[in-house]
A and B are shown apart, each in its own frame.
Chain A
Amino acid sequence: MKTGIFICHCGHNIKHTVDVKKLSNFFKKYPGVTVSNDYPFVCSEPGQDMISESIEKQGLDRVIIASCTPSLHGELFKDLLKKSDLNPFLLRRVSIREHCSWVGDDIEINTEKARRLILAGLYSAAHYVPLEEKRVEVTKSALIIGGGVSGLSAADFLSKMGMQVYLVEKEAELGGHVKNLKNIWPARKDGKSIIDEMIEELAGRENVEIFASTTISGFEGFFGNYEVTLDTLEGEKKLTAGGVIIAIGFSPFDPRIKPELQYGKDKRIITTLEFEHNADTLQLPEKPRVAILHCVGSRDEQIGKPYCSRVCCINALRVGEAIKDKYKDSYVESFYMDVRAHPRGGEEYFEDTQEKGVLFTRANVAEINPSLTGIVIRGEDTLFGEIFEREFDLVVLSIGMSPPVDNKLTASLLKITLDKDKFFMEAHIKLRPFDTAVKGIFIAGSCSGPKDVEESINHGRASAVKLFGFLNLGYAYVDPFISYVDPKRCSGCRMCEQACVAKAIKYDEEKRVVHVEEAACMGCGLCNATCPSSAISLKGYIDCMIDDEISAFMEAI
């Protein structure tokens, strides 16, 4: 066996708390190890060249890369092996960043842990065999869940590119929250007209099927061929989609969660959304006194909303502007922590609003007390350190964005993860902001965190182009991790048959043993774990390999 071990410094990230030199020197002398090197950025071009050169010149048959989490550069290094004519499944990634250097500060402990992790990888890799990826035909169709501005943007692009689009919206009407917005900032356009334009485009296209008042009730299968069951008004409907874009948006924060806001108890206390809907019908005196509260349901750890909702400062400005425009002699005061005027004109808008006479008071609002003559707000001006008490005719709560109500359901149905705030989690927050950990399933718009209209459109279209790139060839490759049966060991108990969710295990009446239908197997490993006679193994994850890996880590070998 000729194993090459490549230990990455990851700039400071690993080197800072792991003695990489010591590690590479240790493995240089280890039996079966042909090359052991450490390098500042293994993922960079010279780093990759170093690996491919070693494969070529030293004839490596196993490659161990000890670096960041395998999910980060998995495909990259696999491709590297392929290019070097080495089967990509002879690659072992060992995470010594997320699992080691980022965890503790003690260089000695970390180095020892990293050493054991690599050792475990080494013993595990000894069992590796070349495997071939499966080529699967994919369906050139997309399921888009959510008919808001993000979902519509995605549908628009994909259908224009000739792909079959199934657009599912649980409400009766498409358009999400945007259709209700009167004056979208900074476009200064009516939300409904934007949405109508988009719907009109879609309506004329044959390859778009829109399911309103519909929810997803079943979801199975794999990338390229997801089997979806819809619960429509006309009943159940099944379809196959190559990929999915989830664009189910957000829920407006419900201020009732904070009883001290008195929301719902007095009709003079309303949300920004309500103001938007009812701006024309509000009954206000000639010189109205209006208070606007920022950060309602945002930046608030007590109620589990530690995040900033990004759009509400601008919404608060829009309210202030609207009042000032309508009532010149009004008194409008905004109570804020930081004014986060979202760019592209946001800052200028903030200044203009101030110039129009909206007052901005950096404050902690302590109490809201409705009285006969108005709503009394008590609080502390944090700039002047003064306690104030002022009466208003109207209090507008600039509410934040909460995760969509269907978040958990969708996540469990599609087997994707939620983040700590219960929005959907991205594969990589920076560079893959609309990918999920599951291939072919994307998240677009504010369901992965607060976004404004422009950003939601960007997300919708960007995820769509990515999905198109995945599916446009009509085929794709999937991992070859499938189960196989050792007929000599199989007792024919058929427990695995019941465990298999993919219905890939077939029983041979004559020979009284089972076998696995490769095309159907999805590599979940359930049969493997169920088999009482250890007759079933999962390619790439065989039992003795895992035993050795654990033993090596525990230094039991």
Chain B
Amino acid sequence: MNKVLVVGGGIGGITAALELASCGVSVTMLEEGPSIGGRMIQLDKTFPTLDCSTCTLSPKMVEVALNHNIELLSWAKPMAVKKAGQKFQVTILKKSRYVDIMKCTACGSCFPGCPVVMKSEFNMGTGPRKAIYIPFPQAIPNKASIDKREDRPCKAACVDACPIHTNVLGYLKHISEGRFTDAYMLIRATNPFPSVCGRVCYAPCEQVCNRGQLDDPLAIRDLKRFAVDRFDLDSLEPSQIQKTEKKVAVIGAGPAGLACAHDLAVEGHEVTVFEVLPEPGGMLRYAIPEYRLPKEELRKEIRYIERLGVTIRCGIEVGNDVTLDAIKNDYDAVFVGTGAPKGLLLDVEGENLPGVMDGLKFLRAVNSGESVETGKSVAIIGGGNTAIDCARTVRRLGSENVKVIYRRTRDEMPAAHEEIEALLQEGIEIQFLTTPVCFYADNGKLSRMECIRMKLGEPDASGRRRPVPVENSEFSISVDSVITSLGQATQTSFVEEIGVLLAKNGTIEVNPLTGLTNVEGIFAGGDVSTGPAYVVDAIAAGQRAALSISCYLKNEPATMTKAVKKPERLTEDEVVDLTAKIPRVGRIHMPEISVKERVTNFGEVAIGYSPEDAMAEASRCLAGHIEGCIQCGECEKLCEVRAVDHTMRDEIVDIEYDSIVLAPGFDLYDPTEKREYGYGTLEGVITGIEFERICSVTGPTGGDILLNGKTPRRFYFIQCVGSRDRQSGARFCSRVCCMYTAKHASIVKDRIKGAEIYVSYIDVRAYGKGYEEFYKSTQESGTFYIRGIPGEITKGENGLLVRVENMLSGEMREIEVDIVILATGVRPRKGTEELCNIMSIERDEYGFIKVDSITPSRTNVAGIFVCGMASGPKDVPDTVASGGEAASRCMEYINQ
């Protein structure tokens, strides 16, 4: 079987390929873009019949896809061609589309998640598309592809460091380009507590952020908070969920329990949460002070979980009010997420005196609105976040002399750096290397505590240097109250009744990947199984458990979440390389309320970014610096058939062909250089092909003719832009613009009643079957044709001012319109030169492929033929005829 290569999948190439295939030739069609259809498929209608372009062409495209004699390669182009005798050895580059064409079902689930918004080439930039996309619904092949142009400069360590793998790259990209709602929704996709995490997360992402190796790490958490601030969660309607009829009980309404409940509800399970305290939220509600996390923020996120259908029953203590066994019998599965609510004891004399309080109890009391008397001088024992929360809370309650007593140095303090900073700013002193040894009371009231100095000894199990007392260094501090915050423990006795195995320290033993305990149907996660950790760890544990509970309920093996990749750092070479490329820009800090003001109340300290600052800060993200796909992996997560494959590589193949047909098509003139028309600078000046996309049902407006959301009423069309024009280097007539303008005018007449339409022309070249008649009827239906090309377009009071001399009447007119459409001329397709060079094909002075008018498809190389616009302007019927002609020459050549 003879083989022919057809380069280009427009109507010319399609015609040639189908004709050759019908003559029994095996055809390979190369299309440089994602879909065949060429320019014609971009058109709304075709002149002069006003047939829908998609309706006439898309069946032909389908024919190409279904024809057994045609192999269609999209994203492919020839790289080198060698003539071997009568035949051609062609090296073809098959660009990777990063989507497995055999698996992709064109369902479109991946598009909404993709955070990279680009201009749609198909819509000529009049609308957006994502980096993963199908250019239009009728595309052939109807498969997604990823527009990946370069490798991401950073290692996305943030995503790997995040226990719930938040798509940091994605939401930063959204924020940097002003899509705040999209940013929020992307965060929300993996996190039911964006507001909480945007405020109190310990941000492991920032610690590893690769940008931190260049200057400062991104303010990832604060930007999350920014996205949250711009979104009204109460207005978000949960999407419809298919119910499963399975019931799950969740014990403990802390972050682990609620995250688990959230994910289970999304899966359609009926979830009931049991909470011992009067309000849900756990530590978030009762431990974290208002100035760090306003209660209303937390309530909003819990309200949403309730709106998903989760029932939260507060004031019920499992083990006391109801037994776990009873719950186990009533529900199909149980998740235990009761956290570590118990404060650890100091184990020194006087600890039980009134005035010595447990930190968690203290915070719970304050957060419950109880009045707590602390006196003037308060000492807080401990160096963790809770200790700091206590200290800052005490400060706000009015105590003047607040001290934090910590037995090691600042370097060993487990509290977050910025929390310590805030503490110091608020005038709270930290006494390092100190520990209390005894509390003393005066008249039954705490009066002083005796402390001892410490020094750092050998490292302990945690890797920190163990503090050892310095002999004879005791000293005394007078205090009105003492708050101890030394760590937390679980309360797990209620699980033992049904035989759940506990570890020595009282935590529940679980499989860390699935959350499954030793008892069937009982899962656990969060602090209750790990001991005290961070909010986001608890959320992650809840989510993991939810996933395995869902599997358990479906009787499927538990899905292990993906193996965790360690956050990677940039190598030194990469740092050097990036430092040279990317200017140093430090972090833009989120503004805060002044120290003086903040210590007087519990109002939130951090104010939040302005949109400008947020966008500027987010745009520092290294991943956002590249064009196209940022490899954030969101599409992979969303694709149910696992068609996305970021590891694909471009392929190069060598194939022998008997003949070649070139049909690379054409581009349209870019009128930016014609300053007088203001294209690119004046709003409302667009090109014909852009207008075509705006008219089209498959276009960005669904076919409504809109300019910035409004229907224009006054239209001005200018012909011969970039044709018959020496200045733009094109003396030739582009042949199609007169007619497409007449078509546009008639489309406008049809769709916008009462539209005012003007057309400026030199000669109206309506040759072709039915063309003259079409032009006449356009004129007769009320389109004003003005002979003369406008000299200038300027901004008028209510639109665009077009100044034009009507050469027929000699009068100078100034016409105000809403939209100006430039009928731009035809140019050889970008890449035609390269294509011709690799095949040694001659081109004419304008760059079109040179042919002889008596053998219109024959190029200077025997065996290589050309059809369509590549050899000069043609309309559709002429392109079809030239496609057939090229096929005929090709058949002759291979049958010699």
Contacts and interface: CB of A to CB of B under 8 A. Distances in A.
A458 B856 contact: yes
Interface in A368-405: 382-385
Contacts of A298: 772
Contacts of A104: none
Interface string A534-556: 00000000000000000000000
B895 interface: yes
B885 A468 contact: no
A457 interface: yes
Contact of A462 (B698, B724, B853, B885): B885
A429 B731 contact: no
A232 interface: no
Contacts of B271: none
A73 interface: yes
Interface string A460-474: 011111101110110
B767 A450 contact: yes
B23 A457 contact: no
A297 B582 CA distance: 69
A106 interface: no
A453 B767 contact: no
B769 A347 contact: no
A431 B55 CA distance: 11
B23 A348 contact: no
B177 to A, nearest CB: 30
Contacts of B766: 308, 338, 340
Q: How large is the interface on B (under 10, 10 to 19, 20 to 34, 35 or more residues)?
A: 35 or more
B765 interface: yes
Contact of B885 (A384, A449, A458, A469): A458
Nearest to A462: B884
Contacts of A15: 697
Interface stretch (B248-256, B354-362, B870-878): B870-878
A426 B51 CA distance: 15
A466 B19 CA distance: 6
Contacts of A450: 767
B48 interface: yes
A252 interface: no
B12 to A, nearest CB: 11
B649 interface: no
Given A454-B856, A462-B880, A385 B809 contact: yes
B746 to A, nearest CB: 13
A430 B46 contact: yes
B58 A41 contact: yes
Contact of B697 (A40, A184, A428, A432): A40
Q: How large is the interface on A (under 10, 10 to 19, 20 to 34, 35 or more residues)?
A: 35 or more
B876 A430 contact: yes
Contacts of B22: 466, 469-470
Interface in A339-367: 339-348, 351
A426 B878 CA distance: 13
Interface in A60-103: 68, 72-73, 76, 79
A46 B142 contact: yes
Interface string A410-430: 000000000100010010111
Contacts of A454: 853-854, 856
B56 A461 contact: no
B695 to A, nearest CB: 8
A310 interface: yes
A302 B126 CA distance: 44
Contacts of B142: 45-46
Given A11-B44, A343-B735, A46 B138 contact: yes
Contacts of B223: none
Contacts of B49: 429-430
B52 interface: yes
Contacts of A457: 854-856, 885
Interface in B752-773: 763-773
Given A343-B873, A348-B732, A76 B59 contact: yes
A362 to B, nearest CB: 8
Nearest to B772: A308
Interface centre among B60, B63, B696, B731 (most CB of A within 10 A): B731
B447 interface: no
A65 to B, nearest CB: 12
Given A10-B55, A160-B895, A465 B854 contact: no
Contacts, number: 217
Interface stretch (B163-171, B483-491, B549-557, B886-894): B886-894
A300 to B, nearest CB: 10
Given A76-B62, A306-B776, A465-B23, A382 B769 contact: no
Interface string A249-281: 000000000000000000000000000000000
B56 A431 contact: yes
A219 interface: no
Nearest to B51: A430
A307 B772 contact: yes
A194 B733 contact: no
Contacts of A187: 852-854
A194 B140 CA distance: 42
Contacts of A43: 55, 58-59, 62
B889 to A, nearest CB: 7
A48 interface: yes
A53 to B, nearest CB: 12
A385 B853 contact: no
B888 A465 contact: yes
A434 interface: yes
Contacts of B44: 11-12
Given A73-B59, A343-B732, A455-B881, A307 B872 contact: no
B247 to A, nearest CB: 33
A45 B888 contact: no
A458 B733 CA distance: 20
Contacts of B763: 338-340
A13 B876 contact: no
Contacts of B876: 430-431
Nearest to B136: A44
B238 interface: no
A381 to B, nearest CB: 10
B808 interface: yes
A458 B703 contact: no
Given A307-B773, A308-B766, A465 B884 contact: yes
Contacts of B23: 161, 465, 468-469, 472
B57 interface: yes
Nearest to A197: B854
Given A434-B881, A462-B881, A462-B883, A308 B771 contact: yes
B65 interface: yes
20 contacts: A12-B751, A15-B697, A45-B61, A79-B66, A184-B854, A308-B766, A308-B768, A310-B768, A340-B766, A344-B732, A430-B46, A457-B854, A458-B856, A461-B889, A462-B883, A465-B888, A466-B22, A466-B884, A468-B891, A473-B24
Interface of B: 11, 19, 22-24, 44, 46, 48-49, 51-52, 54-63, 65-66, 106, 137-138, 140, 142, 696-698, 703, 723-724, 731-735, 751, 763-773, 776, 787, 807-810, 852-856, 872-874, 876-878, 880-885, 887-889, 891-892, 895
Given A344-B853, A433-B880, A458-B884, 18 more contacts: A11-B696, A41-B137, A44-B62, A45-B62, A45-B140, A79-B66, A184-B854, A306-B772, A309-B767, A340-B765, A343-B732, A384-B810, A429-B769, A455-B878, A458-B878, A458-B881, A462-B19, A462-B887
**Shortest 9 CB-CB distances between A and B: which pairs?**
A462-B884, A469-B22, A338-B763, A44-B138, A461-B888, A310-B767, A458-B881, A11-B697, A449-B769
